[in-house]
Amino acid sequence: MKKALFILLILVVALMPIMAQGTKEAASEDDYKLVLRMSHVFAPNEQLTKSLEIVINNIKDRTNGAIEIQHYPQSQLAVYKDGVEQVARGADFISVEDPSYLGDYVADFNALVGPMLYKSFDEYEYMIQTDLVKGMLKELEDKHRIKVLALDYIFGFRNMKTNKLITTPADLKGMKIRTPGSQLFIDTINAMGATATPLGFAETLSAVQQGVVDGLEGTMDAYGSNGSAEVAKNMALTQHFLGTCGVYINADVFNRIPAKYQTIIQEEFTAGAKHMIGEISNNYEATKARLEAKGNKFNEVDSAAFAKTVDVVYANMKGVTPGIYQILQNELAKMPK
């Protein structure tokens, strides 16, 4: 009997740390609190900002305040390359940026959102569900600890906004066009015939007014909400990029979040992208009509001529899988009609 009691005592002592750990984990889930900061360049009245505001409110409500996302639009915190770098370094931070900035980590992301690749939102939505892109996402997470919560916060096709009528690449010769700091954007605008001039958006409108640059490029939603229609009265419908943002968080930060909250976060960011696409699609014609009523003009362009100019962008992409443009085209060819 004494021997049995002694063995039982040893087992209890041995199991105490495990039992305590289990209790600690259960308590930590109940008491869990995480504050994340989220940053991007979009203005408060642009649809991306509005859609993300719904997402973060839903997450806070569904987690009973356990997950709080502090929202910093319009470049209040790190954006572009610096924002993604915050994520890669493990900060409690969510970066919302064009997927081309992921190209610094996995080069094929540059091609994924390359110029003149998509003709519809649906084509891009199809592409990001392919095994090809899933492989890119896995590499990004495994090697660089960047987890992608969404890739399809689509805000529309990007077009040229100037005070000069643009219909062919020759019309852009000698013009300085503001771009974000993404190398993909810079290379594309240069290839199209203009001189790319990277600027933060906070500086852009005054730069157009003062003649530092001759125009900028962006979407219908931005044209109708961020003030660019006041300084550049003509939009040439080049559709040279599909404007989209991804939502990125550090994988280790995400993995430390209790599983039930991870599920809520993922569900809400997925739903937010769908909401945004619906709003952008539904509001396009109304925004265009409102701007036309204010004297802004819109014109079609020689799309084939512009498409030809950007072949060199794909040819000169560094570090991408050889033949990546054709690989992407082959994937699109599989899309059900």
- The pLDDT tens digits for 84-142 are 999 999 999 999 999 999 999 999 999 999 999 999 999 999 999 999 999 999 999 99
pLDDT exceeds cutoff 80 at 22: no
pLDDT exceeds cutoff 70 at 191: yes
- 178: Cα separation from own chain's centroid: 19
Cβ–Cβ < 8 Å for 144, 170: no
Q: What is the pLDDT of residues 250-289, one digit of tens each?
A: 999 999 999 999 999 999 999 999 999 999 999 999 999 9
Is residue 264 helix, strand or coil? Answer: helix
Cβ–Cβ < 8 Å for 111, 328: yes
Q: How far apart are CA 102 and CA 127, in angstroms?
A: 16
pLDDT mean over 188-204 = 95
pLDDT value for 135: 98
Q: How far apart are CA 300 and CA 84, in angstroms?
A: 35
Tokens of 272: 């937010």
Tokens of 211: 């003649």
Residue with tokens 């900060």: 91
Q: What is the pLDDT of residues 57-79, one digit of tens each?
A: 999 999 999 999 999 999 999 99
pLDDT value for 28: 54
pLDDT exceeds cutoff 60 at 15: no
pLDDT exceeds cutoff 70 at 157: yes
User: Residues 6 or more apart from 302 whose CB is under 8 A from it?
Assistant: 167, 168, 169
Q: What share of the chain is helix, strand, coil (3-state, %, to 5)?
A: 55, 20, 30
pLDDT value for 30: 75
Average pLDDT, the chain: 92
Tokens of 265: 């976060």
What pTM does this model have? 0.88
Q: How far apart are CA 261 and CA 258, in angstroms?
A: 5
AA letter at 174: G
pLDDT value for 237: 98
